[in-house]
Chains A and B, each alone.
Chain A
Amino acid sequence: MTGPQTDPGQTQEPGRRLAGLSSVLIVGILAFLVVVFTILNGTAFLNFGNFVNIAVDASVLLLLGVGMTFVIITAGIDLSVGSVLVLSGVVGGQVMVALSGTSEQVQNYQFPNQAIGIPAGIAAGLLTGLVFGLFNGLLITRLKMQPFIVTLGTLGIGLGLAQILTGGTNVRFVPTAIQSQIGTREFFGFLPVPVVISLVVAVIAGVVLAKCGFGRYTYAIGSNAEAARRVGIDVDRHLLKVYALSGLLAGLAGLLDLSRFNTTSIGAHTADNLASISAVVIGGTSLFGGIGTMIGTVVGTFIPAVLRNGFIIQGVQAFWQEVAVGVVLILAVFIDQRRRSAEERM
């Protein structure tokens, strides 16, 4: 509220300008990378098939990033997503194997009961993710524990359980239909199903975040949980839902991973949590809570994916991708902090 005459002099504030900058910046960085790799590699990089490859590679991480976006906007964190992904894939895969035929049959790649086994496995995988998410949420809200510590604990629990269930080896003899019908299938001959699934999820989640009451409460809680509580928002209940969503999407990501490779990949996801947090933060979501967009997360997921792809085509050691992502991440966090301290000076 201002006096009878408003004071336009005070309306130009550093916080907003920086916020605007960061979203332009990340899209700019992505565009810059595309241009650079196009100049360096020409059509080896710039072709539809390659972009589809990039999108397929990014699809699993994008699902994790979607859930992580909600979590981080509430000023929380979920370190368990990678191991929940693995455990969900393991549970889903084992249920599929167990229900699709006798052990003799599946070892000969015959799956007479896969019409039951596959849906049951999908349900079991999703349920596993959901249960872990709920467990995270319950510990955080009921026991008032730090999300960082809780999800660090469930990270260990999830991965440990996955290894106990499998004896440390990947699940074999998973019905090949999930790969042919989901993992490597392409709609209309050019749209890979994993890409469609992850983009549809991202779009729906983005709309919920931006347009629905659920999203509004997510921002409000991350912005000032006490204020949300005082107006009657059930903060604990909402946080429970947010962590449950993150777990559920990690479960979905695990099933997608299973369907792409027709087996689990227990050792391949230990850095997924940090990769998805990086993607979300690069996308402009604030670790302090209250700020973030789904489109930012999509772009933030594609920056590392484009880097990896470009470096591989270029013949650069793939490890450089990690260096480059680290630099972008630090830049993103730096901008976030500048924005935050600019706000606090107001």
Chain B
Amino acid sequence: MNVQSPEKNGSDGRAVLSARGVSKSFGAVEALKNVDFAVRSGEVVALIGDNGAGKSTFINAITGVFAPDAGEITFEGEPVRFGSPHDARERGIETVYQDLAVAPQLDAVGNIFLGRERYRPGFLGWLGFLDQPRMRQETEEQLSELNVRIRDLGKPLSTFSGGQRQGVAVARAVMWASKVVIMDEPTAALGVAQVEMVLDLIRRVRETGIPVVFISHNMPHVFDVADRICVLRLGEMVTELDPKKNTTDDAVAAMTGAVRTRRGGAR
């Protein structure tokens, strides 16, 4: 069994984004207990855990959706405190939230450029006129560069299936990220071909040197793309696995807390 201690990663000097001692409670529920975590440039870190383990809470706490009760977050070597997800975005950290955070009545272009609208040049832009053709063109260019296909850029997302909406949210994050991409269960509602596209996208992002935090339930997906696997159980970061050395069984055991004694199981 080859398990590194989480602390060792948290103190890694080359970490782009790291968290130390992050705790968060909702009333009596301790959703996160003293969690350490780090992601370095050019790697894909999977964050796995059973339902309710605290994965989404952790993502929310480090991207500014809410503040952690305790702990510190370091970004590019300096301590940060994101007051809102927008702050994190401005620093180049893009997140696909589990609830997607898309506006269903806007189309894909509207969602991708939401909060980053392009305005017409000159006087019309000063009056607040949107440059819709330009936003559409930039979207098309970026998507084809990323090899992502969206069904119909001009239709409201409410007409999309869950998987197609997820695709828009993933494309938006990848398009704008310059430092870190975080994806909270981005493959949950996807079909086989769409999953392949997302996993492919994750690899492509890694190639550019931008690290990816990938949250998933699906062990084949995790073992497919991850360089490291961090396991959360009941709010605690219990272990870290190496997808080359550990097996799916190890991961499941670590997630559920089952004790494995045979052939290098997780503790």
Q: Which of B84, B90, B104, B127 contacts A229 (CB 8 A)?
A: B84
The interface residues of chain A lying within 8 Å CB-to-CB of B194 are 1-3
Interface residues on A, range: 35 or more
The interface residues of chain A lying within 8 Å CB-to-CB of B127 are 212
Q: Which of A3, A15, A212, A227 contacts B197 (CB 8 A)?
A: A3
Q: Given known contacts A1-B167, A216-B117, A224-B102, is B130 in contact with A211 (CB within 8 Å)? A: yes
Q: Which of B97, B155, B171 contacts A230 (CB 8 A)?
A: B97
How many angstroms between the C-alpha atoms of A54 and B153 in the bound complex?
41
B152 close to chain A: CB less than 8 A: yes
Contact yes or no, B160 A346, CB < 8 A: yes
Q: Which of B119, B162, B167 contacts A346 (CB 8 A)?
A: B162
Q: Given known contacts A231-B114, A231-B116, is B86 in contact with A346 (CB within 8 Å)? A: no
The interface residues of chain B lying within 8 Å CB-to-CB of A230 are 65, 84-86, 97, 101
Q: Which of B97, B99, B130, B193 contacts A213 (CB 8 A)?
A: B130
Q: Which of A4, A5, A216, A231 has the most CB of B within 10 A?
A: A231
The interface residues of chain A lying within 8 Å CB-to-CB of B99 are 226
B105 close to chain A: CB less than 8 A: yes
Closest partner residue, chain A, to B63 (CB atom): A230
The interface residues of chain A lying within 8 Å CB-to-CB of B162 are 346
Closest partner residue, chain B, to A5 (CB atom): B193
Contact yes or no, A4 B193, CB < 8 A: yes
How many angstroms between the C-alpha atoms of A226 and B171 in the bound complex?
19
The interface residues of chain B lying within 8 Å CB-to-CB of A212 are 127-130
The interface residues of chain A lying within 8 Å CB-to-CB of B179 are none
Expressed in whole angstroms, the minimum distance between the Cβ of B205 and any Cβ of chain A is 15
Interface residues on B, range: 35 or more
Contact yes or no, A2 B164, CB < 8 A: yes
A219 close to chain B: CB less than 8 A: yes
How many angstroms between the C-alpha atoms of A7 and B170 in the bound complex?
19
Contact yes or no, A231 B196, CB < 8 A: no
Contact yes or no, B167 A2, CB < 8 A: yes
Expressed in whole angstroms, the minimum distance between the Cβ of B248 and any Cβ of chain A is 25
The interface residues of chain A lying within 8 Å CB-to-CB of B105 are 219, 222-223, 289-291
A11 close to chain B: CB less than 8 A: yes
Q: Which of B90, B104, B192 has the most CB of A within 10 A?
A: B104
Contact yes or no, A213 B117, CB < 8 A: yes
A131 close to chain B: CB less than 8 A: no
Expressed in whole angstroms, the minimum distance between the Cβ of B57 and any Cβ of chain A is 16
How many angstroms between the C-alpha atoms of A222 and B103 in the bound complex?
8
Which residues 170-198 in B have Cβ within 8 Å of A in the complex? 170-171, 191-194, 196-198
A230-B97, A232-B90 known; 8 other A-B pairs, CB under 8 Å?
A2-B164, A2-B167, A211-B129, A212-B130, A226-B99, A228-B115, A231-B86, A232-B85
**Interface pairs (25), CB distance under 8 Å:** A2-B163, A2-B164, A3-B192, A3-B196, A6-B151, A7-B151, A16-B155, A212-B128, A213-B130, A216-B130, A219-B110, A220-B114, A227-B102, A227-B103, A228-B103, A230-B84, A230-B85, A231-B115, A232-B89, A233-B114, A290-B104, A290-B105, A343-B159, A346-B159, A346-B162
10 closest A-B pairs by beta carbon, nearest first, are A1-B167, A3-B193, A231-B115, A232-B86, A290-B105, A223-B103, A223-B105, A212-B128, A227-B101, A230-B85
Q: Which residues of B contact A (CB under 8 A)?
A: 65, 84-86, 89-90, 97, 99-106, 110-111, 114-117, 119, 127-130, 132, 148-152, 155-156, 158-164, 166-168, 170-171, 191-194, 196-198
